[in-house]
């Protein structure tokens, strides 16, 4: 033992050098001493946070609600109205080749400022069904040379041995009711341009891709397409191909670019072609203006007001409770060893 | 090495009387080596014969790695897929190639590959570290016989069975060797087996007489021999074999075997033949595969995962049933799906098949409930936490140059939940270095320096006195009077403290002499001659210098003698004697030479003491004696031993100083010192020669009763002693041990000491570390001595022990005083009985009630058994800390094993989960890192489940709106990124950087540590709370968005939200909600957290923008979604704000509420720190610090408190007396 001390004395220098290499380098990071902000929830911070939320939320809620209330919406459900009274088998009727024109009148109860968006709304239509969503070929839609990439489109991939363009269930089931509007015998023009997303027109649907062999199989689905118009101009198709998230959905049909006045009666000549009768789906025609927030939906405003109000209530109750039962911050008497002495 | 000179050869065996002297008359027959298990044949000096079968034995290189280059991939992969979750994800990935899968294969395989790859990389890194360690060991050099008597260095790994090796002093043996000869003439050598069994006493090994002549390099030119022996086995203490040498057969026994990893000490060199190499060696056979340990939190996490699996299966079944119903009754009418021509998985005509395949789809689809990245994130976090532990400069030991080392990172959080610490003593609590500190000679106490224990206690007392002052003033007694007398008491105390403190002041310059901490001018520089009892002093010094078995060694550089002694105590005595002027300078066969100095003028007289007999120290005798004849011709017996033994053997007139010495001995014991009493006896010639005859007769006796005869004869002589004095040696505790124990005790940890040492030593150390103190009731459980060997004895002993246990329990139960503390002291022999199944719970119940538990004389196996008992019996987390190979079992058995690194033996460190250089670093490791890691991991896991539930359930809800068809509303890439990029870094930063309170506060408020053992942050209440929060968030996110984006236009231009818009908005809200949630969870924001949390949100937008800019070929429905569709729509932003605020509102209310009305300790401390109250009101801060500890009965704080209670009691008594006296 004593000898080792002698040995130690002789070998201090190299040992020290070796040691220093193992010494952890000091830095604030490695020692976990980085400067940090340590916010704590003081009563003032809590109450201010609640107040802040309510101050921000209530105005937004009011604004949203006003915006939503300003929107004028005419909804007309027509899937039963447009079936002649004597028809019992609605499905057979809709699948027949009879003339399914239907005249309806809409009443404008409130002035509607242009543009007025025309939508059709379907109910109970599962555009988001996995089989349906997948049944399309983006390559084919975009690129003329990819005409035959229809593997994802089954069973609407080929007809008569040739590829269908556009293939797949989505395109095949294209909505084919049409509407034309007139006011006091003066027709209202429905502008169907620009109803789809620009990016879709320009990048997803080819300018040189033309419908071919479409709706030529044994079972006809929905609308047919004009084979001389490229897909990028077939805006109804483009809108339809953007599948909806929910089984109840609207799709843009066109825009009426004239104001509609209060009391106006709008005549709609409606071609009721689309089969929603098999699955009891509703069909609605919707005319709606928009606000900065979009269409008519009070929910957002109500939600904002609710949360804002709740926060105000919380701010209030926290304030009251602080006054009733204040606790000084950092009061050591609340430490566990002071709260229940000996009861560790 | 500047080691002294080659020591004169000496027949050491003369120094020993009976312990290692083997009567040469007895000829043993060679062992009959037959049958299986004894097949090994070793051709000495012919290693080439061992190169082919059947004599091919394994090589000497060792490997502790789990994998090699070839096996790494399959083995590590297999390891990875032993996790249930990973198997699930693997299956999901396999199925993702089929049409059933709702996702593209890439989105399933990529995260899995990432996760598994990362875990495997970590595994590879850890294994490569082990490999480097192995290489280091394998490349150590040793001298090997090459040929023709020439020895040259070879690396350990190339040593083969049969090689002749020359091992030099202080080297480790590279393999199990047969000792042939040593630098001592009689072929003995000293071996330190600390690495094997933790014993610090040197062991003596002897070569065979027949090989004694093989003592220089040249003779090995022609040396040949054959060893036949047992096969490799893990038994350290047995060996059976024969050596065939020069046509004779000699039996071999364990005393000729030098075991790998033990160390040659006090012997210049030895020659040996390698018998067992590499993994055949006994120590390697002993090594068990270190069990893979998992922390409690991780085990609990499994249950959570199972819960989530159940939920997953449940919602999958629900959605499958929904799907079947929808498919059967509705799908046939959905003409747009072409139900007449449909794939099997949707076919309404085959609902059963469709349902089953949908179940698989659903299991994959809802897989986001199970956080795939959880394991890998936890792994990353733990590795980083471990790096911080390794990098902690405050756990770096300057002396040995070793930083702390977290060897396995998967137990970090377990460090925060430890309940019981089981500690080894030698090398862990103590440095195994003795300092001569005080002595009592002729009834006078010498030595003014205080022991570390006294110093530490004094320091604590000084800081506590202030507080106690105010407490005392509450006595319902006449104030003025009380104050006065208390002041008196205090003054006394302070005088004591002053002395202590001043002596501490000039402490450091004098530390130069190792083993000597004595300081008293009355004895130094020959001043002792002026003392009244100079004769006794002289005798005392002579006993110190003569009565030992050490060998002096002259250091030629300094001209100072150093000593090689069997035990460090003895070394300390010799150094002390040298410093007093009695320098032991030479030992011959029969004499001891002392340089005696009687005046300061350096005039030295050499005196010779003829060594007549030496009566050895054994743990049974507890004493050693020498009989010497001095130059005047008088014969003395000089004896040193345990006080109780010596006091029993004193002559009537030798008891002069008995009373004073006893008093001093008690004081020393209280100060934590090891004491020995010194005595002598003067013999006359006839008496001696009569006895010597007896002794010789006994010595040359043959047979079983030889030892007892020798003992009886020695006992006859060691009587009628005259007491001279007593020594007090400080078994130097490692730096900071008492403070550390004190702080750990205050953090609520229980500390058990398990030591291989004697009971007395253990108790002394117990005092030194304040695990024991005066006034503590010691319960010693021992085995009753019985001589008979009957079969029912065992039962009797057990009954007896059981009785002892019951009595002790009764005593504790009946104790009224709340401050009473008990200490349980038990020895290894008793433990063998108490650890048996029928008694162990009784023992454990008693031990748990005691403030401290000390187990002495325990074997390594018992250490492990005790650890297992505590672990399983109490169900709490145990931590074992030790430094030697004898602690390996316990280290592996405990929930956490900590090894002391920096010392030479590596076994403990290799088996450990954490390695620190000093015991005192344990405090920081547990109280700071453990506390942090526990909270970090707990919060992190809770948050993980929250975020995955919040995300995964939205997929489920959406299912219900798609006719349960398995369509996901999110783009595949969103889902990949969710776990891997968008939410992983914030949670990792939470797991790595979160600090509830800074490190110094953790140390100042040890009570905060109890949050871990009480598991406040990972109980089911909290976990379920977080899960509920996830459920709430998922509901809010989904239904708010679905209602807001229901059917109307979402932009001023009249566009309608399609699936991509709804999905992306929903996902945006999720990203915001979960990231805001984690920001609320954190209480410590460095720039890193800010960057990660807010950066994650920013990343989402950047990703969305870039993804939208890709050609639609890749981005599909997300093409231009942010730029064209979402960002111009105010409703998108307004919805995001609404949803993220609403999601976080309940949690925010919860934490505000909790902080306001039920604040936890760390909340208060955060507030104190926040308002800098600790600086403004320092009195409050110190007061709270002193209160912030668990009620404890050990540690010097408890000792000080006990003392103060005692003082108070005394004071009160005085008061009552003074009051009652006048009346």
Reported as a single tens digit per residue, the pLDDT across B661-676 is: 888 888 887 777 778 8
- How would DSSP label each residue in B1111-1146? -HHHHGGGTTIIIIIITT-HHHHHHHHHHHHHHHHH
Inspect the interface and report whether the beta carbons of A2 and B1056 lie closer than 8 Å: no
Distance from C-alpha of A134 to C-alpha of A152, rounded to nearest angstrom: 7
In this prediction, residue B360 has a pLDDT band, given cuts at 50, 70 and 90, of: confident
- pLDDT, one tens digit per residue, over B310-342 is 999 999 999 999 999 988 888 888 888 888 888
Q: What is the pLDDT of residues A2-53, one digit of tens each?
A: 333 333 333 344 444 445 577 888 888 888 888 888 888 888 899 999 999 9
C-alpha B1140/C-alpha B1071 separation (Å) is 9
Residue B660 has pLDDT above 60, yes or no: yes
Instruction: Give the residue from A129, A172, A342 with the most B CB atoms within 10 Å of its CB, the best one to mutate.
Output: A129
- Decide: helix, strand or coil at residue B624: strand
Query: What's residue A195's pLDDT?
Result: 92
Check CB contact under 8 Å for B1159 and A334: yes
CA dist., res. B896 & res. B912, Å (int): 8
Helices (H), B816-927: 828-834, 837-849, 860-874, 888-893, 907-911, 921-923
pLDDT for position A307: 95
Per-residue pLDDT, B22 = 40
Given the residues B61, B176, B397, B424, the one annotated as active site: B424
Q: Where does the pLDDT of residue B786 fall: very low under 50, low under 70, confident under 90, or very high at 90 and above?
A: low
**Does the structure show a pLDDT above 70 at B56?**
yes
Is residue B1223 predicted with pLDDT exceeding 60? no
Which segment, B89-98, B813-822, B1071-1080, is predicted with the most confidence on average? B1071-1080
Taking only the tens place, the pLDDT of each residue in A177-193 is 999 999 888 888 999 99
Could you give phi then psi for residue B1128, rounded to 5 degrees? -75, -5
Angle value at C-alpha B138, between B133 and B139, nearest 5 degrees: 100
pLDDT of residue B3: 37
pLDDT in tens, B405-429: 888 778 888 999 999 999 988 778 8
Q: Between B1112 and B1206, whose confidence is greater?
A: B1112
Task: Give me the pLDDT at residue B601, please.
Answer: 65
In our burial notation (b when 16+ CB lie closer than 10 A, e otherwise), range B327-360 reads beebbbbbbbbbbeebeebbbbeebeebbebbbb
Structure tokens belonging to residue B567: 């035990």
CB B583 within 8 A of CB B599: no
| Nearest-angstrom CA–CA distance, B1110 and B1156 | 50
Burial of residue B268, with CB atoms counted within 10 A of its CB: 0-12 exposed, 13-18 middle, 19 or more buried = middle
The reported pLDDT for the residue numbered B790 is: 54
Averaged over B613-628, what is the pLDDT? 80
Do B515 and A331 lie within an 8 Å CB cutoff? no
* B424 marked as binding residue: yes
Tell me, rounded to whole angstroms, the distance of Cα B238 from its chain centroid: 29
Sort B293 into a burial class: Cβ within 10 Å, 0-12 / 13-18 / 19+: middle
Average pLDDT over all residues of chain B: 81
How many other β-carbons are positioned within 10 Å of the β-carbon of residue B150? 12
Q: Is B243 within 8 Å of B178 (Cβ atoms)? A: yes
- B622 pLDDT band, cuts 50/70/90, is confident
Cα separation, B439 vs B725, whole angstroms: 7
pLDDT digits (tens, 9 = 90+) for B1112-1170: 888 888 888 898 899 999 999 999 999 999 999 999 999 998 888 888 888 888 888 88
Nearest by CB: A299 against B1044, B1164, B1189: B1044
Whether B507 is catalytic is no
- Token digits of residue B1135: 């919805």
From the list A132, A249, A331, the residue facing B337 with the nearest CB is A132
Residue B857 is labelled as binding a ligand:
yes
Give the CA radius of gyration of chain A.
Answer: 34
- pLDDT at residue B482 greater than cutoff 70: no
Find out whether B425 is annotated in a ligand binding site: yes
pLDDT of B1095 reads: 94
User: What pLDDT shows up at residue B801?
Assistant: 85
pLDDT of residue B1: 35
Residue of A nearest to B554 (CA): A3
pLDDT in the model for residue B481:
38
Distance from CA of B25 to the nearest CA of A (A): 36
Please report residues of B whose CB lies closer than 8 A to that of A46.
1152, 1156
Q: Is the pLDDT of residue B400 over 90?
A: no
- What does residue A183 show for φ and ψ, rounded to 5 degrees? -125, 120
Give the 3-state secondary structure of residue B946: helix
* B147-169 average pLDDT score: 86
Find out whether A217 and A164 touch, Cβ atoms under 8 Å.
Answer: yes
**pLDDT for position B817:** 76
Query: Tokens 């090894």 — which residue?
Result: B899
> Is residue B440 a contact partner of residue B523, using CB atoms and an 8 Å limit?
no
CA distance A175 to chain B (A): 11
Q: Is the pLDDT of residue B937 over 50?
A: yes
Q: Looking up tokens 């002794």, which residue turns up?
A: B695
Q: What is the pLDDT of residue B211?
A: 83
What ipTM does this complex have? 0.93
Residue of B nearest to A298 (CA): B1044
Per-residue confidence band for B992, with pLDDT thresholds at 50, 70 and 90: very high
Q: Distance (Å, rounded) from C-alpha B647 to C-alpha B207?
A: 40
Do A118 and A252 touch, CB atoms closer than 8 A? yes
**Closest by Cβ to B1190, choosing from A279, A297, A344:** A344
Cross-chain residue pair B1170–A40, CB shorter than 8 Å: yes
Mutate to test the interface with A, among B1054, B1164, B1175 (most CBs of A within 10 A): B1054
- CB–CB contacts below 8 A, A to B: 341
Separation CA B708–CA B711 (nearest Å): 5
Q: Which range (B49-58, B289-298, B496-505) has the least confidence?
A: B496-505
Summarised one tens digit per residue, pLDDT across range B810-833 is 888 887 777 778 888 888 888 888
Q: What is the Cα–Cα distance from B1127 to B1133, expressed in whole angstroms? A: 8
Q: What pLDDT sits at residue B459?
A: 67
Beta carbons of A297 and B1160 less than 8 Å apart: no
- Closest Cα in chain B to A290: B1052
């Amino acid at each position: 033992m004593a000898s080792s001390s002698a040995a130690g004395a002789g070998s201090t220098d190299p040992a020290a050098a070796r040691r220093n290499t193992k010494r952890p380098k000091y830095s604030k990071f490695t020692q976990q001493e980085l400067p940090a902000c340590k916010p704590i929830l003081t009563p003032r911070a809590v109450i201010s946070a609640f107040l802040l939320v309510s101050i921000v939320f209530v105005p937004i809620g009011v604004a949203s609600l006003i915006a939503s209330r300003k929107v004028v919406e005419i909804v007309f459900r027509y899937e039963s109205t447009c079936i002649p009274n004597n028809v019992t088998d609605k499905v057979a009727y809709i699948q027949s080749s009879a003339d399914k024109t239907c005249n309806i009148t809409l009443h404008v109860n409130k002035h509607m400022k242009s543009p007025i968006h025309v939508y059709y709304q379907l109910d109970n239509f599962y555009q988001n069904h996995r089989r349906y969503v997948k049944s399309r070929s983006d390559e084919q839609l975009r690129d003329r040379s990819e005409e035959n990439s229809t593997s994802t489109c089954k069973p609407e991939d080929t007809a008569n041995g040739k590829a269908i363009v556009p293939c797949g269930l989505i395109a095949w089931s294209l909505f084919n009711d049409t509407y034309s509007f007139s006011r006091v015998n003066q027709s209202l023009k429905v502008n169907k341009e620009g109803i789809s997303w620009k990016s879709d027109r320009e990048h997803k649907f080819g300018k040189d891709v033309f419908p071919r062999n479409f709706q030529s199989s044994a079972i006809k689905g929905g609308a047919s397409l004009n084979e001389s118009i490229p897909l990028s101009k077939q805006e109804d198709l483009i809108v339809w191909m953007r599948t909806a998230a929910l089984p109840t959905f609207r799709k843009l049909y066109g825009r009426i670019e004239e104001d509609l006045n209060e009391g106006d009666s709008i005549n709609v000549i409606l071609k009721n072609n689309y089969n929603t009768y098999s699955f009891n789906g509703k069909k609605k025609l919707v005319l709606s203006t928009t606000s900065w927030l979009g269409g008519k939906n009070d929910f957002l405003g109500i939600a904002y007001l609710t949360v804002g109000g709740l926060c105000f209530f919380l701010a209030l109750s926290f304030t009251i409770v602080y006054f009733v039962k204040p606790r000084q911050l950092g009061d050591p008497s609340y430490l566990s060893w002071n709260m229940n002495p000996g009861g560790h | 090495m500047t080691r002294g000179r080659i020591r004169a050869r000496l027949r050491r065996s003369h120094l020993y009387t009976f312990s290692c002297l083997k009567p040469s008359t007895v000829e043993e027959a060679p062992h009959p080596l037959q049958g299986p298990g004894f097949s090994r044949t070793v051709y000495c000096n012919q290693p080439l014969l061992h190169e082919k079968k059947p004599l091919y034995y394994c090589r000497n290189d060792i490997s502790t790695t789990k994998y090699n280059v070839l096996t790494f991939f399959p083995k590590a992969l297999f390891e990875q897929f032993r996790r249930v979750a990973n198997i699930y994800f693997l299956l999901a990935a396999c199925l993702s190639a089929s049409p059933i899968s709702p996702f593209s294969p890439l989105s399933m395989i990529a995260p899995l590959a990432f996760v598994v790859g990362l875990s495997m990389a970590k595994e590879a890194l850890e294994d490569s570290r082990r490999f480097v360690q192995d290489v280091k060991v394998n490349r150590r050099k040793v001298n090997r016989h090459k040929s023709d008597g020439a020895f040259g260095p070879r690396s350990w790994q190339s040593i083969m069975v049969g090689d002749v090796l020359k091992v030099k002093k202080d080297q480790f043996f590279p393999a199990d060797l047969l000792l042939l000869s040593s630098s001592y003439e009689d072929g003995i050598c000293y071996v330190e087996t600390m690495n094997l069994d933790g014993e610090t006493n040197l062991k003596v090994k002897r070569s065979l007489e027949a090989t004694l002549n093989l003592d220089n390099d040249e003779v090995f030119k022609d040396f040949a021999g054959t060893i036949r022996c047992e096969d490799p086995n893990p038994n350290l203490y047995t060996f059976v074999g024969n050596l065939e040498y020069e046509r004779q057969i000699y039996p071999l026994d364990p005393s000729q075997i030098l075991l790998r990893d033990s160390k040659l000490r006090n012997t210049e060199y030895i020659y040996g033949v390698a018998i067992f190499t590499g993994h055949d060696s006994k120590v390697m056979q002993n090594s068990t595969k270190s069990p893979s340990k998992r922390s409690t939190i991780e085990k609990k996490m499994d249950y959570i995962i199972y819960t989530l699996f159940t939920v997953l299966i449940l919602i999958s079944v629900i959605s499958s049933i929904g799907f079947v119903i929808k498919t059967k009754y509705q799908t046939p009418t959905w003409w747009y799906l072409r139900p007449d021509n449909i794939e099997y998985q949707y076919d309404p005509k085959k609902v059963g098949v469709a349902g089953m395949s949908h179940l698989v789809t659903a299991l994959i689809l809802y897989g986001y409930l199970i956080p795939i990245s959880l394991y890998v994130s936890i792994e990353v976090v733990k590795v980083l936490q471990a790096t911080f532990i390794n990098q902690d400069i405050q756990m770096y030991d300057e002396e040995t140059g070793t930083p702390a080392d977290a060897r396995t990172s998967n137990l970090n959080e377990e460090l925060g939940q430890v309940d019981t610490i089981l500690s080894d003593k030698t090398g862990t609590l103590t440095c195994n270095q003795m300092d001569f500190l005080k002595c009592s000679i002729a009834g006078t106490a010498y030595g003014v320096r205080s022991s570390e224990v006294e110093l530490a206690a004094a320091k604590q007392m000084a800081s506590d006195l202030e507080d106690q002052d105010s407490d005392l003033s509450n006595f319902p007694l006449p104030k003025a009077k009380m104050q006065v007398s208390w002041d008196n008491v205090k003054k006394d105390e302070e005088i004591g403290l002053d002395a202590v403190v001043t002596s501490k002041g000039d402490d450091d310059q004098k530390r130069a002499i190792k083993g000597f901490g004595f300081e008293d001018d009355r004895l130094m520089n020959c001043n002792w001659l002026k003392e009244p009892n100079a004769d006794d002093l002289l005798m005392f010094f002579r006993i110190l210098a003569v009565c030992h078995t050490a060998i002096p060694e002259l250091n030629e550089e300094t001209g100072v003698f150093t000593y090689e002694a069997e035990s460090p105590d003895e070394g300390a005595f010799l150094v002390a004697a040298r410093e007093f002027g009695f320098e032991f300078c030479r030992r011959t066969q029969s004499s001891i030479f002392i340089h005696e100095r009687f005046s300061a003028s350096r005039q030295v007289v050499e005196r010779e003491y003829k060594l007549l007999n030496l009566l050895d120290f054994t743990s049974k005798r507890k004493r050693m004696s020498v009989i010497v004849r001095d130059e005047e011709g008088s014969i003395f017996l000089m004896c040193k031993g345990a006080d109780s033994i010596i006091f029993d053997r004193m002559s009537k007139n030798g008891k002069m100083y008995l009373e004073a010495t006893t008093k001093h001995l008690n004081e020393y014991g209280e100060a934590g010192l090891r004491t020995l009493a010194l005595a002598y006896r003067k013999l006359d010639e006839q008496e001696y020669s009569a006895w010597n005859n007896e002794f010789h007769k006994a010595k040359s006796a043959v047979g079983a009763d030889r030892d007892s005869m020798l003992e009886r004869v020695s006992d006859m002589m060691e009587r009628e002693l005259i007491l001279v004095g007593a020594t007090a040696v400080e078994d130097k505790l490692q730096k900071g041990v008492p403070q550390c124990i004190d702080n750990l005790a205050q953090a609520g940890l229980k500390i058990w000491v398990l030591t291989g040492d004697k009971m007395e030593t253990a108790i002394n150390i117990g005092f030194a570390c304040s695990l024991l103190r005066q006034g503590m009731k010691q319960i010693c459980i021992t085995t009753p001595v019985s001589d008979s060997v009957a079969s029912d004895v065992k039962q009797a002993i057990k009954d007896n022990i059981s009785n002892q246990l019951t009595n002790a329990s009764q005593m504790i139960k009946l104790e009224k005083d709340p401050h009473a503390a008990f200490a349980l002291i038990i020895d290894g022999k008793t433990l063998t009985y108490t650890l048996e199944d029928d008694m162990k719970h009784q023992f454990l119940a008693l031990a748990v009630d005691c403030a401290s538990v000390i187990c002495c004389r325990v074997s390594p196996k018992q250490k492990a058994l005790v650890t297992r008992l505590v672990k399983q019996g109490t169900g709490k987390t145990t931590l074992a800390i030790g430094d030697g190979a004898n602690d390996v079992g316990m280290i592996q058995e405990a929930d956490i094993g900590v090894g002391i690194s920096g010392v030479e033996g590596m076994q403990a460190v290799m088996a450990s989960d954490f390695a620190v250089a000093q015991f005192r670093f344990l405090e920081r490791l547990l109280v700071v890192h453990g506390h942090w890691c526990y909270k970090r991991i707990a919060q992190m896991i809770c948050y993980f489940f929250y975020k995955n539930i919040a995300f995964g359930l939205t997929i489920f809800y959406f299912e219900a709106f798609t006719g349960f068809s398995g369509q996901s509303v999110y783009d595949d890439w969103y889902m990949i990124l969710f776990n891997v990029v968008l939410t992983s870094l914030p949670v990792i930063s939470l797991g790595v950087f979160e600090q509830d309170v800074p490190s110094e506060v953790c140390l100042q408020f040890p009570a905060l540590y109890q949050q871990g053992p009480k598991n406040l942050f990972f109980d089911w209440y909290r976990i379920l709370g977080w899960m509920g929060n996830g459920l709430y968030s998922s509901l809010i996110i989904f239904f708010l968005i679905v209602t807001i984006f229901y059917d109307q236009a979402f932009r001023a231009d009249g566009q309608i939200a399609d699936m991509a818009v709804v999905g992306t908005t929903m996902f945006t809200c999720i990203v915001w909600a979960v990231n805001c949630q984690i920001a609320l969870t954190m209480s410590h924001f460095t720039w890193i957290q800010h960057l990660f949390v807010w950066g994650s949100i920013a990343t989402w937008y950047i990703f969305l923008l870039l993804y939208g800019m890709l050609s639609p070929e890749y981005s599909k429905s997300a093409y231009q979604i942010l730029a064209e569709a979402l960002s111009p729509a105010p409703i998108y932003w307004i919805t995001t704000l609404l949803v993220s605020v609403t999601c976080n509102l309940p949690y925010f209310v919860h934490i505000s509420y909790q902080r306001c009305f039920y604040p936890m300790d760390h909340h208060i401390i955060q507030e104190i720190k926040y308002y800098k109250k600790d600086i403004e009101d320092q009195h409050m801060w110190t007061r709270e610090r002193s209160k912030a500890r668990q009620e404890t009965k050990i540690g010097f704080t408890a000792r000080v408190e006990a003392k103060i209670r005692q003082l108070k009691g005394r004071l009160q008594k005085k008061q009552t007396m003074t009051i009652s006296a006048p009346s």
